[in-house]
Structure 1
Amino acid sequence: MSTYLIPVDFSKTADHAAKYAARLSWAMNDAKLILLNAYYVSEYESILPTPDLIVTTDEHIADEITRRKDALEKLKGKLLEINPNADIEISLTRETILRSIIDRVNVEPVDLIIIGSNGKKAKEESDIGSNAIKVSKASPVPVLVVPPKADYQSIRKAILACDFKKVQEVIPMQALKNILSKHAIELLVLNINSGNQVDADEEHFLYDMLKDFSPTYHYAEHPDTIKGIVKFAKAEEAQLIIALPKKYSFFENLLHQSVSQKLTIKSHIPVLLLKD
């Protein structure tokens, strides 16, 4: 069984990612979905009034917990309409969303965290969506970021983007194997060449490292790395971009919000963030 953890905050962004996860679980036949909502009230909130002069009392907290549980059940019902056979668990925690995600991953095997990307409305939509990259940085398991306009498609072709440099340090092979072994995916390895010479030894090492996946190798030149990747993925009609947010990688600055948001905003397909 594959287990997908879906943090939700009842925004359109999070609902879209949850529905994507339900369709993915339908394709997998045997998957568990965990809808996770975090309701954290700091000590100061229980003492000091809000800007609306409302104090967060125990009664208010109890009412909010009930409201959130009802909302989780409602969302669960929507997902069961997509996949009636899905095993769906709802979970409401009283910690911050990041702590809640890490705690859950530490006590239960989770294969994938699925988070919606806000796109251009990062400050207007989901707090989870605007912090997707922070979650991926802290998460010990892969994170799938679903752009707001990404509809579910069977994953048949994936783009693995790297700069062919220090590949031994860059590619998390075990995480990559875990993903590719469960799906019949055509892997395309892409190098966007910004004018730098590709080291022959590194190139040969990469070929040997990935030989079990029988990938095809592609080279392209584009002054904007993100646009180059997105353009290539669109031309190839890929259903997934695999990014490697690690030091020395093609995405060594991916965890900087400005760059990461570019990728998830401009990408028309989901982006999988892999780490060891």
Structure 2
Amino acid sequence: MKRILFPTDFSDTANNAFVYALEMAKHLDAEFIVLHVYDSPNLTYEGCPSSIAAIYETIELKNLENFNDQIPYLRKIAEEHQFESVKMSYILRHGNLIKIIKEISEKENIDLIVMGTHGASGLKEVFLGSNTGFVITQVPTMLLCLPNEAKFEKIKHICFTTLLKDEDKTALSDVLNIAKKFHAKVKCLTIKTSDSKLAHEDIEKWQSNFKREPIEFFVVSNDNIKKTIYDFLERQEIDVLAMLTHRRSFVEQLFTQSLAQKLSFHSKTPILVMHEK
């Protein structure tokens, strides 16, 4: 893993995620790119285009000044946490956040995007309309979602949810590569529902591919997938939950982008969202 992209709006949530993201960069020996994207209001005023142009110039200048003010603050945070060894660069862009994240991810060969997620009071799951949720569904780069409550501690256990499909093996290998950087163990969780067709022989055959790796496998029979995952996170003291998004049948939808988004909203555990290759 060579490059990490960190989009920020300089909020408290983003600054909390900044420290966690720097820890990831330090352990993974990756370059760190800070991205701030701003958008301008859609102004229309007939008969005075020069005034509109002046307003836009003022907005751009204020955003540039704010960006330049924030960079020393981020550097100070990095120094206070002893991240001087992490190579950092900064990008300021105007336009659509999701489009620009996708563009930079492709152009700069980004391996991992790290974003903070906002919580909410009440029962409505507003996260589904958040920027992090849109990145999950629209940008095919690995994404680490960091809830407000997430604080970096030594990563000892990473949970990888799997349906034991062949295509999951590539994602599991990626998770293993990350785990080894932290000297962590991977705990693979397969939830076998009442309509599952997984046979014991199939499970053993799939697991045999990773006999020599620091992996422990768990197969849990339960129809309540979300609750099963939450219980597993707590019982096994999971530090990061890794999930692979699928794009196929209705049966697998509980392991698709929708569940990853809902978990990012509810869980205090960082979630690593991966995409099929």
**Are the structure 2 counterparts of residues 155 and 8 from structure 1 closer, same or farther at C-alpha, using a change threshold of 3 Å?**
same
**Are the structure 2 counterparts of residues 142 and 229 from structure 1 closer, same or farther at C-alpha, using a change threshold of 3 Å?**
same
- 1:254 lines up with 2:256 in the alignment: yes
Describe the SS at the equivalent of 2:141.
coil
**Are the structure 2 counterparts of residues 208 and 139 from structure 1 closer, same or farther at C-alpha, using a change threshold of 3 Å?**
farther
Give TM-score, length-normalised by structure 2: 0.81
Describe the SS at the equivalent of 2:245.
coil
Could you say which residue in structure 2 is the equivalent of 1:34? 33
**Are the structure 2 counterparts of residues 91 and 80 from structure 1 closer, same or farther at C-alpha, using a change threshold of 3 Å?**
farther
Say how many residue pairs are matched. 262
Pick one of 155, 168, 185 that aligns with 2:166.
168
**Are the structure 2 counterparts of residues 250 and 239 from structure 1 closer, same or farther at C-alpha, using a change threshold of 3 Å?**
farther
Describe the SS at the equivalent of 1:203.
helix
Give TM-score, length-normalised by structure 1: 0.81
Structure 2 counterparts to residues 101-180 of structure 1, below 5 A: 101-120=101-120, 130-164=130-164, 167-173=165-171, 175-176=174-175, 178-180=177-179
CA distance in 1, matches of 2:266, 2:62: 39
CA distance in 1, matches of 2:208, 2:253: 22
Could you say which residue in structure 2 is the equivalent of 1:210? 210
Could you say which residue in structure 2 is the equivalent of 1:93? 93
Describe the SS at the equivalent of 1:149.
coil
CA distance in 2, matches of 1:12, 1:118: 10
Residue type matched to 1:74 in 2?
A: Y
Describe the SS at the equivalent of 1:274.
strand
8 Å Cα contact 1:246-1:252 kept in structure 2: no
**Are the structure 2 counterparts of residues 59 and 214 from structure 1 closer, same or farther at C-alpha, using a change threshold of 3 Å?**
closer
What residue ranges of structure 1 are gaps of 5+ in the alignment?
none
Residue type matched to 2:170 in 1?
A: P
8 Å Cα contact 2:8-2:34 kept in structure 1: yes
**Are the structure 2 counterparts of residues 170 and 78 from structure 1 closer, same or farther at C-alpha, using a change threshold of 3 Å?**
same
Identity %: 21
CA distance in 2, matches of 1:105, 1:113: 8
Residue type matched to 1:255 in 2?
A: Q
Describe the SS at the equivalent of 1:120.
coil
Q: CA deviation at 1:189?
A: 1.1
Encode CA deviations 1:213-255: one digit per residue, 9 max, x unaligned: 3422112244432221122122111211110111358665532
Encode CA deviations 1:1-32: one digit per residue, 9 max, x unaligned: 7321110012222111111112333444x332
- 1:18 lines up with 2:15 in the alignment: no
